[in-house]
Chains A and B, each alone.
Chain A
């Protein structure tokens, strides 16, 4: 009912090609943007900024970069972490060499360096395909991380070998470093992410995006209809690495505050890949959904387990458990019996856990960490089984059902 499209006529090609041909989509996005730009910053606590809002945005951005390469252009990459590192180190060198530089400009420029390196490592993709290419990108991953460690010029000959974010000012306000307020950092991240998302949406809808998709679906056929494969693949590597590099700069400058080379090691690459795949390859919105799940879930699990530093009332723990149960149930209903059974099982486990919390039952924090890893692994398999095309596809199905509701077809 809320999503009824009846009466929305398109009378021109421009209207048909609009970013949101359905009015409700635009309304929904406006609501989300209002939440992101106004309501969250006004209500969020320091903890929420640092563990949920900022990392979710940064990871979503990194996943979007990877998604352009893997989801739109079809080139599997396992080196995302290293390219994030290139962005972070480039940004660090820029702000220490040119302290007068505007931090946002530095962050946006740092992507240029990772784009260059991305293109260099993308050249083999012209000959190597599929899993061979995936392993080839691992060469970039391991080599670059080794370079971050051994090339001391990169971290200004620090004794620690880590890069430390200095206090950076913009218009008299600290925007990065230990003295910056979380809200400022959040707004900068949000600004950059919004900007790049807009850019990516339009790139993937345009001419370039169509050549990428043709390359992905069958590169020989694409070549036969006159697409320059070299141009298509290398632009995909460039744009993707640019976005990933900017995400890396944000990761260190707006969130972590300091980084050692091993931060950019292979687990980071995989985390970003998870987000892109769970969110849905070949979609923009999926990256956000995936980031919310992959970044948000461990936090929620921790909070439910009651091991976080701050006190959480058992009431809200129970509420969270119920929410997770409801959400998984919804996912289950949207798919099949198998998914539903798993969702009910998971929901019941969470509820029992919440009840045990109520009774004063606590588990050691180390064990929680291990169980967290286990649950994330199981969830990845679970989501792949119930919806291999990702959360984005799930949302698309729900939206289609809403549009024709209350009719079944």
Chain B
């Protein structure tokens, strides 16, 4: 009985009794949710246009952040380093397309998936060789990102909003909107979507596979840089950042591998729900650190009822 009360009653009582704390938890969930959504968007773009399940997204985040910090350490001004990092990410996209993807066109999905894991390993080794394995500090102030915080007092309580988090939410939202506009209103964007809908039809009307692949990998690189800056400013730049890419996977499952809306909704849902679960159920009842698996288990349960995710294309199978 007592256990049932702990599971079904106490957490909600806590929530009602301390609404300011609940809002704090929700806010933090929202911030990480937006970042998950952003990474998941990178996955979805690549998956739609090439059926590649891009495992290297996580290491691209680390690599972009490391390059940025590394360039700045060399004495390059902060804004120029951002520009140069974008150039590096573009070169990376071209090299990946040329060296890895092009020879593997038409191979089974799992082979391409493995190739992205190969890319991941290579970039880990490459990044460590060039930048060293130790933790670094993100150049938050030099980039002009505000670092203070605002204290609100709703319901007579305390709600602390880090300016950094506010910036992240605004920038990420803008980036998502820009991406949606790009996909819907530009020729290149439409080409990406066409490729996602029907490979052969898109090729036959003259859409270049190579160009699009470089483009989506470059977009994934831009997303990686933004996520890298945001996450690096909160937790420092190290190879541990790679794990946030794993968080994008349940987001994809929940939202559906092909769906851009799904990535956004799924990201926000997982960000908020996993924080709530960790604070109100995980820490008091399960010994904490449930964030490593909660999102996966949640997605698994949802998938049992909707095998294609919440927004994924209906899977129609024919013999």
A residues with a Cβ closer than 8 A to B are 70, 76, 124, 127-132, 134-136, 138-139, 142-143, 145-146, 149-150, 218, 220-221, 224, 266, 270, 273-274, 277, 281, 338, 366-367, 369-381, 384-385, 388
**Is there an interface contact between B299 and A135, defined as CB atoms closer than 8 Å?**
yes
Q: Which residues of B contact A274 (CB under 8 A)?
A: 114, 117
B interface SS class: helix
Residues from chain A with a CB closer than 8 A to the CB of B103 are 338, 385
Q: How far is the CA of A273 from the CA of B116 in the complex (A)?
A: 13
- Contact of A377 with B122 in the complex, beta carbons under 8 Å: yes
Is the CB–CB distance between A277 and B246 below 8 Å?
no
Residues of chain A within 8 A (CB-CB) of B299 are 135-136, 139
Contacts of A128 in B (CB 8 A): 303-304, 307
Given A224-B319, A381-B122: A277 in contact with B110 (beta carbons within 8 A): yes
A128 and B302 CA atoms in complex are apart in Å by: 11
User: Is B104 touching A388 in the complex (CB atoms < 8 A)?
Assistant: yes
A135 x B122 contact (CB < 8 A)? no
Q: Which residues of A contact B115 (CB under 8 A)?
A: 380-381, 384
B131 to chain A minimum Cβ distance, whole angstroms, is 10
**Max chain B Cβ within 10 angstroms of own Cβ: one of A131, A134, A220:** A131
Shortest Cβ distance from residue A30 to the other chain B in the assembled complex, whole angstroms? 33
5 intermolecular pairs with C-beta atoms under 8 Å apart: A124-B304, A128-B307, A145-B292, A273-B117, A380-B121
Question: What would 9 more interface pairs be, CB under 8 Å, given A132-B309, A377-B125?
Answer: A124-B303, A135-B252, A274-B114, A366-B133, A377-B123, A380-B121, A384-B104, A384-B107, A385-B103
Question: Which residues of B come within 8 Å of A, CB atoms?
Answer: 53, 99-100, 103-104, 107-111, 113-115, 117-126, 128-129, 133, 246, 249-250, 252-253, 257, 286-287, 289-290, 292-293, 296-297, 299-300, 303-304, 307-309, 315, 317-319
Q: Nearest chain-B residue to A368 (Cβ)?
A: B129
Q: Are B304 and A127 in contact (CB under 8 A)?
A: yes
Q: Which of B99, B119, B133 contacts A370 (CB 8 A)?
A: B133
- Give complex CA distance A130, B289 in Å: 29
Chain B CB count within 10 A is highest, among A124, A372, A375, A388, for: A388
Task: Report whether B286 and A277 are in contact in the complex, using a CB–CB cutoff of 8 Å.
Answer: no
Given A370-B133, A377-B118, A385-B103, does the pair A139, B293 have CB atoms closer than 8 Å?
Answer: yes
By beta carbon, the residue of chain A nearest B290 is A146
Which residues does chain B contribute within 8 Å of A124, judged by CB atoms? 300, 303-304
Q: Contacts of B317 on A, CB cut-off 8 Å?
A: 220
Q: CA separation between A285 and B45, bound complex, in Å? A: 38
Residues on A with C-beta less than 8 A from B125 are 370-377
Shortest Cβ gap from A70 to chain B (Å)? 8
Q: Which single member of A132, A142, A150 contacts B253 (CB below 8 Å)?
A: A132
Contact at A277–B292, with CB atoms within 8 Å?
A: no
Instruction: Identify which of A135, A150, A372, A378 gathers the most chain B CB atoms within 10 Å of its CB.
Output: A135
The residue that A377 contacts in the complex, of B121, B300, B307, with Cβ under 8 A, is B121
Is B110 touching A135 in the complex (CB atoms < 8 A)?
A: no
Chain B residues near A129 (CB, 8 Å)?
307, 315
State the Cβ distance, B196 to closest chain A Cβ, in Å.
15
